[in-house]
């Protein structure tokens, strides 16, 4: 069983700082493994526990500093790691990101059975990259995956958590899965040990290695671009009252009454 696990390094959204001009301050912001991808990794490692001879290759596209995150995943029990990195990949939207990652998987792990992504990345929260990769490889996809029900060497059965309920599906390989968060914290021990992981080679893959043209990757290869970014400022006129309980109740009552309601 060959698994490609796609993970992304994201800025910690709980640690966002603003410059004076209301632009995002990028320096000094902590980078973390995308929280959803921690569950994707957990899912891949669960499969490895169940099926012998499972080999997990982690793919990430990003700057060199993402190596630390890859080492951690190796220490958790993933087998190989690939850093897809090139200056020319910078500024990629989900289309160009999907295309580049799909090409990397095609080049380095052509006989994969499963690709596992997180459902969303918390920085962009587009949930698009997974389906884009599946589309470029022209393979089946199952999004919003919650639980692993069954797995063998031909197919996998999972539940999906959707707007209107829970669906159970079965699919034969190859397939790409997008994994939702679990209800518990991922808590695997570093079985391989950091030392072992430090010894492992991380494969670095650039534009040449993928055989893509510069105009098909990064900002140039992206159909969308940000024309303007601005801070989200509320248009509510915040008024704060520190009153006695009685006065608070009166104020609350007035405000509720001032709303014209039809379903009361």
- Of 83, 142, 145, 207, the one binding another protein by CB under 8 A: 142
Task: Pick from 6, 96, 105, 212 the residue near ligand AMP by CB under 6 A.
Answer: 6
Binding mask 67-86 for another protein (x = CB under 8 A): --------------------
Choose from ligand AMP, another protein, none: what does 54 bind? Cβ within 5-8 Å by kind: none
Among 12, 125, 185, 213, contact with ligand AMP (rule: CB under 6 A): 125
Spell out where 45-113 has E strands.
55-61, 80-84
Which listed residue (43, 44, 62, 77) binds ligand AMP by CB under 6 A? 62
55 touches another protein (CB under 8 A): no
Residue 175 binds another protein, judged by CB under 8 A = yes
CA dist 180 → 35, 48, 126, 144 (Å): 10, 19, 13, 6
For residue 112, state whether it binds ligand AMP (rule: CB under 6 A).
no
Query: What is residue 201's DSSP assignment?
Result: P
Q: Residue 47: name the closest of 148, 170, 136, 118 by CA.
A: 148
Query: Residues 65 to 94: which contact ligand AMP by CB under 6 A?
Result: 94
Burial 190-227 (b: 16+ CB within 10 A, else e): eebeeeebeebebbebebebbebeeebbbeebbeeeee
Distances (CA, A) of 227 to 126, 206, 224, 244: 17, 28, 9, 49
Kindly tell me which residue out of 96, 117, 158, 207 binds ligand AMP, with binding defined by CB under 6 A: 117
| 219 binds another protein per the rule CB under 8 A | no
- In the region spanning residues 13 to 32, those forming contacts with another protein, defined by CB under 8 A, are 13, 16, 24
Alpha-helical (H) ranges within 90-192 are: 94-108, 129-137
Cα separation, 151 vs 47, whole angstroms: 8
Site for another protein, residues 221 to 240, rule: CB under 8 A: 222-232, 234, 236-240
Q: Are 204 and 85 in contact (CB under 8 A)?
A: yes
In the complex, the smallest distance separating the C-beta of residue 130 from ligand AMP, rounded to whole angstroms, is 5
In the list ligand AMP, another protein, none, the entry touching 261 (Cβ below 5 to 8 angstroms by class) is: another protein
Q: Are 144 and 162 in contact (CB under 8 A)?
A: yes
Q: Which of 80, 129, 141, 222 binds ligand AMP (CB under 6 A)?
A: 129
Task: Find tokens 């966002």 and name the residue.
Answer: 16
Residue 153 binds to another protein (criterion: CB under 8 A): no
- Return d(Cα 53, Cα 51) in angstroms, integer: 6
Distance of closest approach, residue 83 Cβ to another protein, in angstroms: 23
Half-sphere exposure of 26 (CA within 13 A, CB side): 2
Applying CB under 6 A, the residues found at the interface with ligand AMP are 6-8, 34, 36-37, 40, 59-62, 94, 97, 101, 117-118, 120-121, 124-130
């Amino acid at each position: 069983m060959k698994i490609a696990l796609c993970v992304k390094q994201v800025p910690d959204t709980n640690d966002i700082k603003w410059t004076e001009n209301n632009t995002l301050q990028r320096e000094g912001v902590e980078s973390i493994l995308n929280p959803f991808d921690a569950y994707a990794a957990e899912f891949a490692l669960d499969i490895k526990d169940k099926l012998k001879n499972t080999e997990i290759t982690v793919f990430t596209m990003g700057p060199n500093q993402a190596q630390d995150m890859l080492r951690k995943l190796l220490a958790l029990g993933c087998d190989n790691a690939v850093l897809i990195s090139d200056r020319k990949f910078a500024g990629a939207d989900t289309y160009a990101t999907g295309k580049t990652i799909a090409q990397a998987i095609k080049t380095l792990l052509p006989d994969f059975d499963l690709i596992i992504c997180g459902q969303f990345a918390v920085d962009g929260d587009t949930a698009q990259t997974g389906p884009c990769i599946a589309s470029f490889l022209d393979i089946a996809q199952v999004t919003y995956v919650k639980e692993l029900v069954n797995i063998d060497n031909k197919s996998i059965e999972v539940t999906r958590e959707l707007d209107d309920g829970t669906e159970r599906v079965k699919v034969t390989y190859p397939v790409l899965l997008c994994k939702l968060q679990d209800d518990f914290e991922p808590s695997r021990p570093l079985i391989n040990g950091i030392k072992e992981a430090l010894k492992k080679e991380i494969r670095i893959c650039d534009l040449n290695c993928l055989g893509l043209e510069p105009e098909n990757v990064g900002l140039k290869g992206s159909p969308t671009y940000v024309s303007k970014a601005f801070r989200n400022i509320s248009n509510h006129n915040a008024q704060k009252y520190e009153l006695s309980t009685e006065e608070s109740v009166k104020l609350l009552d007035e405000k509720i009454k001032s709303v014209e309601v039809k379903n009361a």
